[in-house]
Chain A
């Protein structure tokens, strides 16, 4: 296990988290605290699997069309996670349900739906093992840039050994940072999350911004699930699904103090810590003994708590969550 493969593994592990964190930041900037992100990422993953399963089965042995092979899972994933975002919006914005309860319910729902659909597909595929394998689609998602010359192979590996979703994640995060800080819709979105009554008074459509940001945020987060099953696992759905990584994405939001560009660093760091436990062997691992994996899986949350403590002590208003985060908004009608 050398340093280059370590960095590559950290990036691969971190990218799903980056999708989730960027999606959640965009959502939270509208004042919606969507704790359904772990469930939404599950749904994003399984929707892609369902789409690609149906497509691959319809081929009957014919070679896979590279465009459709990528396009179908992508659209299915976006559709599934957007629908979850829409459910969240309808419950919390239109019906004014409690955001925490709704979010947690969506996480439970999404995880369950993922497992259920996964098992159904396994039955349909008459598979011996409890997982679905879509190698053809997976290899399309894994397609990377041509290999670099021998001398700087390590650099090529660190920068260019990933599939297109990885670069998309970083592009979306950078674009979201630019959007929030430098554009007028970004200004308006932040205003909605800070003080919806003020935004409303100057004629900003609060409901539209909240719906828009939350649904787009959910769609972005869902791509994290798709990346995990298609690029990271190479077209594989196992009963473990996406696991508990969704909560890490929410922790990154706090770690990155609501800035998508910082979330890029945060997700690679957290991804690195997450797999360090899995990959670490030898003398260091023996210090921690049998619990090595769990200790390293715990580290991101410890880091998050430290960031929370530091940002509370420094108490800069810019580093605090959006002021109306978690609160429902309705015009007071007397």
Chain B
């Protein structure tokens, strides 16, 4: 390998208000290598990379690009040094074609010439093995196609150093493999690639070296071939952690929720869910796997009484009386009045789950506001509950009266999950409950789900990390484009099997992508 250093950071620090996001970081990137930057949430990975890409400007420290002192104040400056970053949230214009997005913001050398630009886009795609249609509109594209556009956009500007911020978070295992093979080709071409991730197996399979950050500090950079999963985790967290999710055998499972032929249409009349049938049992975690936007949200919302169904039944078996009730076309209020203890942790925490501008106590009251005498609400019990949750789940907050939007993502999620399990539900649905959480918080959430399972709750868990789904769930239901493509046993399943089920019947119709 060529040992030339292309980027060298010296004593770089960045502060946001009272928070020190990066503290005296030294880091170097070599030519033609893939460097993984690993760290928990809030460890300063993205901030550090944003400084290289010109989004932020460091408070202290120096940067050297190809041995020369560099001052990068904007993404434009970064491009002039050959640095391009692919952000987690794509910056693309929906109604433009791939080519129009790729050439956006550049100056023409001669006349404005779209067909010449298209030719160049195709040339880049062929060189590295991308598959792209230069005339396709962004709104017709899948997430992985959009990512391809972003990467080509950076290459088109002649970047030699690419930074990717959690590029695999939204991809299927197959798409991830394709991306990795493209990245390896770029590396052979002499380009340097920095990849931010917290998926350990990807770090080990893809990178040449790993830089570990913890609490804004650079803990160390190691060669991947000498690293193991546990050695890296220890560097990341600062102590030894056990990364095994305990999976107990379901105790005495009985059918709790039986869904049959559930069909949901979206506003355009496209079937988002197409004759879904399955059973959720008590004392069991049922995982739901699928590409984002395959109908997971609509499924959970239909069960929770938030989504109109065009066909099908949802029958709930009452654990005490053994009677069966149909939940179809009931509002959330009616469902509760039937004595069904259904809890729902939606993926949109601050949109559907909690009210960001209200404090923890008020958010607790969203579930209990009808108790109390007359027109007066009872604030005592929600206050007790808020304090219990803060203590039991180790929520970091100045007080119970802090607006929840000021808490970090992990703490917001703890408040939401805490509230939902406080009513000792018989059915608990959680959509992407660990999205954006660090390792410690994630494992705390997994444990909470396991406690619910042990209490005899039927848990439905929509996840995106297949490794976690396989380790945590008793059964995994896979949906692709609104249809069930398979139900597999979590103890026997492997990732490739689930991955191929996820893409089995994918045909992206317009309504599906949105």
A-to-B contact residues, CB < 8 Å? 182-184, 187-188, 190-191, 194-195, 197-199, 201-204, 315, 317-318, 320, 323, 334
Known: A187-B104, A199-B105. A182 touches B93 (CB 8 A): no
* B139 interfacial by beta-carbon distance below 8 Å: yes
Q: How many residues of B contact A (CB 8 A)?
A: 22
B-to-A contact residues, CB < 8 Å? 16, 74-76, 79, 91-96, 100, 103-108, 112, 137, 139, 268
Known: A201-B91, A203-B75. A184 touches B96 (CB 8 A): no
B95 touches A318 (CB 8 A): yes
Q: What are the residues of chain A within 8 A of B105 when measuring CB–CB?
A: 188, 191, 199, 202-204
CA of A125 to CA of B432 in the docked complex: distance in angstroms? Answer: 76
B95 touches A199 (CB 8 A): no
- In the complex, the chain A residue whose C-beta lies closest to that of B56 is A334
- In the complex, the chain B residue whose C-beta lies closest to that of A185 is B112
A183 touches B112 (CB 8 A): yes
CA of A202 to CA of B103 in the docked complex: distance in angstroms? Answer: 9
Q: What are the residues of chain A within 8 A of B104 when measuring CB–CB?
A: 187-188, 191, 198-199, 202, 204
CA of A334 to CA of B268 in the docked complex: distance in angstroms? Answer: 39
B95 touches A317 (CB 8 A): yes
Give the interface centre of B76, B105, B106 by most chain A CB atoms within 10 Å.
Answer: B105
B74 touches A203 (CB 8 A): yes
Q: What are the residues of chain A within 8 A of B100 when measuring CB–CB?
A: 187
Q: What are the residues of chain B within 8 A of A204 when measuring CB–CB?
A: 104-105
Known: A191-B93, A199-B105. A334 touches B74 (CB 8 A): no
Q: What are the residues of chain A within 8 A of B91 when measuring CB–CB?
A: 195, 197-198, 201-202
A182 touches B112 (CB 8 A): yes
A-B CB proximity, top 10 nearest: A202-B105, A198-B91, A203-B76, A184-B112, A203-B105, A194-B93, A201-B91, A202-B104, A195-B93, A204-B105
A-B contacts, 13 listed (Cβ < 8 Å): A183-B112, A184-B107, A187-B103, A190-B93, A191-B105, A194-B93, A195-B93, A195-B94, A202-B105, A203-B74, A204-B105, A323-B94, A323-B95
Extra inter-chain contacts (11) besides given A191-B104, A317-B95, A334-B16, CB under 8 Å: A184-B108, A187-B104, A191-B93, A191-B96, A194-B94, A195-B94, A199-B93, A202-B75, A317-B94, A317-B139, A323-B94
CA of A198 to CA of B76 in the docked complex: distance in angstroms? Answer: 13
Min Cβ gap B85→A in Å is: 10
Q: What are the residues of chain B within 8 A of A318 when measuring CB–CB?
A: 95
Min Cβ gap A70→B in Å is: 34
Known: A184-B112, A187-B104, A202-B104. A194 touches B96 (CB 8 A): yes
Q: What are the residues of chain A within 8 A of B79 when measuring CB–CB?
A: 203
Q: What are the residues of chain B within 8 A of A201 when measuring CB–CB?
A: 75, 91
CA of A191 to CA of B106 in the docked complex: distance in angstroms? Answer: 13
Min Cβ gap B58→A in Å is: 14
Q: What are the residues of chain A within 8 A of B76 when measuring CB–CB?
A: 203
Q: What are the residues of chain A within 8 A of B139 when measuring CB–CB?
A: 317
CA of A315 to CA of B95 in the docked complex: distance in angstroms? Answer: 13
Tell me which of B92, B106, B108 contacts A198 (CB under 8 A).
B92
Q: What are the residues of chain B within 8 A of A320 when measuring CB–CB?
A: 95
Q: What are the residues of chain A within 8 A of B16 when measuring CB–CB?
A: 334
CA of A303 to CA of B402 in the docked complex: distance in angstroms? Answer: 51
Q: What are the residues of chain A within 8 A of B93 when measuring CB–CB?
A: 190-191, 194-195, 198-199
Q: What are the residues of chain A within 8 A of B96 when measuring CB–CB?
A: 187, 190-191, 194
- In the complex, the chain A residue whose C-beta lies closest to that of B53 is A201
CA of A320 to CA of B74 in the docked complex: distance in angstroms? Answer: 32
CA of A160 to CA of B104 in the docked complex: distance in angstroms? Answer: 42
CA of A184 to CA of B79 in the docked complex: distance in angstroms? Answer: 20
Min Cβ gap A66→B in Å is: 38
- In the complex, the chain B residue whose C-beta lies closest to that of A319 is B95
CA of A254 to CA of B74 in the docked complex: distance in angstroms? Answer: 37
Give the interface centre of B76, B94, B139 by most chain A CB atoms within 10 Å.
Answer: B94
CA of A195 to CA of B100 in the docked complex: distance in angstroms? Answer: 14
Q: What are the residues of chain B within 8 A of A197 when measuring CB–CB?
A: 91
CA of A197 to CA of B357 in the docked complex: distance in angstroms? Answer: 25
CA of A195 to CA of B104 in the docked complex: distance in angstroms? Answer: 12
CA of A88 to CA of B139 in the docked complex: distance in angstroms? Answer: 32
CA of A202 to CA of B93 in the docked complex: distance in angstroms? Answer: 12
B95 touches A194 (CB 8 A): yes
- In the complex, the chain A residue whose C-beta lies closest to that of B87 is A201
Min Cβ gap B384→A in Å is: 36
- In the complex, the chain A residue whose C-beta lies closest to that of B102 is A202
Q: What are the residues of chain A within 8 A of B95 when measuring CB–CB?
A: 194, 317-318, 320, 323
B268 touches A317 (CB 8 A): no
- In the complex, the chain B residue whose C-beta lies closest to that of A194 is B93
- In the complex, the chain A residue whose C-beta lies closest to that of B112 is A184
A317 touches B137 (CB 8 A): yes
